[in-house]
Chain A
Amino acid sequence: MTNWLTPRAVNWQLIALWSAVLPHLVQLPLWCTLMLVACSGVRVQIYRGIWRFPPWYIKLALLGLLWLGLVLSFDRDSLMRGTVALLVGGAAFKLLEIHTRRDALVVIYLSYLLVAVQFLFAQGILTGLYALIAAVLVICAQIALFDPRLSAPLPSVRNSFKLLLPALPMMILLFLLIPRIGPLWSVPLDRGAAATGLSDSVAPGDISSMTRSDELAFRAAFDGAVPSSNERYWRTLTYSEFDGRRWLLAKSSGAQLESVESTAQRYSYEIIMEPSRRPWLPVLDVPLSVQGAQLRGARQAVTPAPIDKRQSYRAVSTSRFDLQPTLDERQRQANLDFPKDQNPRTQALARRLWLQSESDPSRFVSQIAELFNRSFVYTLQPPRLGADSVDQFLFETQRGFCGHFASAAALMLRAAGIPARLVGGYQGGEYNSAAGYLTLRQWDAHAWVEYHLPGRGWIRFDPTAAVAPQRIEEPAESLFLDQPGFLADRPLSPLRFANAGWLLEARRAIDALNFSWHRWVLNYQNQQTDLLRSLLGEITPLRMALALLIPGGMILGFVAFNLRPPRPKDPLTLAQQRFEKVAQMLGYTRQPRETLGELARRIKNKYSQTSSALDLLAFIEQRMRYSPDEVESSELVRALNKVSRDLRLESLKAARAAALDRVKERDAGSTGE
């Protein structure tokens, strides 16, 4: 086998490698880029015959440098990026020792792998499109390697499309039908910057500025009705321990699941959750069941491992509920406990309000709401609070966000002897009516209070609604838009500008497209079973095999068929073939070297009705032979077609006449007997 590499093949290898590496370079250290540039340059110089292949000790030194770079730039938490850097480095060094086709194949195969690995870091639609283009370029490079022609690069592109076009339907088929299985072993993922969102403690006093980002938290698609905006509380975490300043997750939470009674309105929905690096799942308050997660105490949905990648799960919730109507003494104490020596003014205020409301819990709650409504301000940039943070908030600053209000309300409830706790999660969501789902972003994060009434269970109380009712009724973005902290970390976010009119429409359409992409491509495994069942009916191995093999075979058959020689399209050739076929039917096979005119003259004698047409054909054919400029080929086509038609007609007539004669003869014979 010739191992000679054409210049075209060398160019294509560089194009393929660069297109595969390009998306990775952004997140790799600069030395990776420099190394790749240097190796590509050396490769070109080697190919042009200006430099020679580097000797072994230079390669060894480079390998050492690569190792050093990897060790210095990456650690355990960036294992994946380190692996990508290793792949890039390997491919770059391989460029320095491409002697044969096999060496070139190593570079090409590494390029395929780099295209695939790109999806571990980004999975957007544009990433997908770019990867498709990169894959086409790598395929071109592989074809160029086996194509000895020295012409322009276009044949490779054309041939790769000849390969790809039939391959695409087959790929879709495989994608739809091949069953997905769970991970075979756990794999490392790079820990990125701590994701914004919920944490395991809430300390409103420690935060002086709340930056709200438009980062996607999750999307929810409902099977039937969508809850109204004041019902859209997405429960995620419950904080029931208070140390005077911070609310913490209950240490003992999760022992047993509380009962939920009186379930009237049920919502069934699917949530596609972005990676949060935490194990808690947001679910609509209050969840009845969650697929793929465990429902723990206080109805929190918890997954066994932190959510490191986008994940989807189904859940059923109800909006009217009696959650845990009776508390046992231990739970009651846990939800009443607070440091008695802190926040004394708050405790006193609570006792006073409790007396004023004549020990009626619901009146007490509305008194708290009235208090907040009177003189408090909702802001994303509250002042920092010192010791006795709740006292300071209630009596001095009176400015805060949901955490402040919820924290103060819960403490007052506990001080009045009503079991209460903080609930963290999300509230609201933007409804995309075109695609029918809710989008929740990090700015929708929210905290509210639950207090317990014997016989009624836990009741939701959102003190923020008393201060800023529009926070609950309207999407967060329209409320926060004027606030300085809003989108502070994203100065150029499209959400800052796209607030009305066609821009909003366009943003919703793009978001809907993204949602479909997430749902049907990135999380296809969740849709696969339902889709296949609706397409195939009962899923059996036999049906799956048939569904794969029959269309697959059809596609390959189509490819093979398409590669067959095309039928001659030239009307003259067709007419000529038709005439020859008719003549052969009549017993006149065209001899080699016989012209059409000669053949026509040969037939003429026997077929008198067609003889004039045959004469004309012979005449035109002869004229065409000797003065081709004077005769249009269409004339000959017409003459040929006429002759073929007439001859067939005449031969049919003759055959009928002969048959009639035979019948007459037989009749005559039979009457004669």
Chain B
Amino acid sequence: MLSLSEIRRLIAARRARWIARRHPAAEQQRIDKRAIYILPTGACLGFVLLLLVMLLLAINYENNLIYGLTFLLVSVLLVSMVHTHNNLRDLMVSSRGYEPVFAGEKTRYRLHLKGADHPSVALSLCYPGGERGSVTLRPREEKTIELSAAPGQRGRHHPGILRLSSRYPMGLFRAWSYVNLTQQAWIYPKAEAGGDLPASAAQEHEGVVAQTGHEEFSGLHEYQPGMPLGRAAWATLARGLELQIKEFSEPLGDSRWLRWSYWPELSNEARLSRLCYWVLRCEKEQRPFGLELPSRSLALASGRAQVSAALMALAQEGFSADD
């Protein structure tokens, strides 16, 4: 005998499968008119009740003007259905990456919306388990919005199928559609304080200079796309050379090595959480650090880039990063 919640879960799973089958994933989606579903709302029920009352008045008082007003509102009801359906049509939705978060927080995805040739008013967007976002687009207007999805575990996260809905203009109907984007996010482990770094964690190679930092100029490097232009060596460019980037380094005074092998008594996830805590602590203390994980290791360094690289490495540990 199935319990009610089990039945509900089964139905939800079935529904999710049906939606996924009908809406295959893609980088960018245009909402087709055949993929828009529409149903009356509670407000519509109230409106129909109102119309029934008016119809009763018209019948009992044989009042043709009340008939006329009732029929006008019936017609408005029907026309508003077309409008609500149309509000979603031909909208383009594409993925624009995500805001990295730690496990347990709501993941935030960026979506790019491009309006159709008609305005799309009061669209409501929602990932399963996430918070609702609302947006209004003028004809052909483009907007990028951020939308939170359900909180996830460390590692790769899929937000699920995006649901767009709208009740505009009369609130009598709710039209909705599903947009299945090929999106994913990497979620950092949740930082768990605890443990001590063994003595061996302290840096052995005193005096060695790490690659990047802020303090001391260490030379010029050929520009690669993505490098910060704030550090471009404009002087060398003026001399007619290729664009170069100034590289700085800082002395690794009191640096740390963070290693996977320090806490063998913990589970894998707990180890990652603890490493995450130490990464963040090193960042706070502005201490250079290196990271050694089973699948990869990061050389000693400090700065924002090192921290995000380390957090990403912790997030991807145990997953193949390329897909």
Contacts and interface: CB of A to CB of B under 8 A. Distances in A.
Interface residues of A, number: 62
A146 B170 CA distance: 7
Interface in A138-155: 139, 142-143, 145-149
B117 interface: yes
Contacts of A181: 59
Contacts of A170: 71, 74-75, 78-79
A111 to B, nearest CB: 10
Interface string B115-139: 0111001101000000010101000
Contact of B122 (A147, A168, A174): A147
A113 B52 CA distance: 11
A147 B43 contact: no
A159 interface: yes
Contacts of B169: 143, 146-147, 159, 163
A146 B167 contact: yes
Interface stretch (A370-378, A518-526, A648-656): A518-526
Nearest to A128: B65
Given A105-B46, A113-B54, A565 B90 contact: yes
* Dominant secondary structure at the B interface: helix
B168 A120 contact: no
Given A170-B75, A565-B117, A117 B57 contact: yes
B79 A559 contact: yes
A556 interface: yes
Contacts of B61: 120, 183, 187, 309
A128 B66 CA distance: 10
B55 to A, nearest CB: 10
A163 B69 contact: no
Contacts of A143: 168-170
B122 A556 contact: no
B60 A184 contact: yes
Interface string B72-104: 111110111011011000100000000000000
A8 to B, nearest CB: 13
A639 interface: no
Given A171-B68, A185-B60, A146 B122 contact: yes
Nearest to A131: B69
Contacts of A164: 72, 76
A555 to B, nearest CB: 8
B46 A148 contact: no
Contacts of B46: 105, 109
A525 B61 CA distance: 12
Nearest to B87: A563
17 contacts: A1-B132, A102-B42, A105-B43, A109-B50, A115-B69, A119-B65, A123-B63, A139-B170, A142-B170, A143-B168, A146-B170, A147-B121, A148-B134, A170-B79, A174-B71, A180-B59, A309-B62
Interface of A: 1-2, 101-102, 105, 109, 112-113, 115-117, 119-120, 123, 127-128, 131-132, 135, 139, 142-143, 145-149, 159, 162-164, 166-168, 170-171, 174-175, 178, 180-187, 309, 521-525, 552, 555-556, 559-560, 563-566
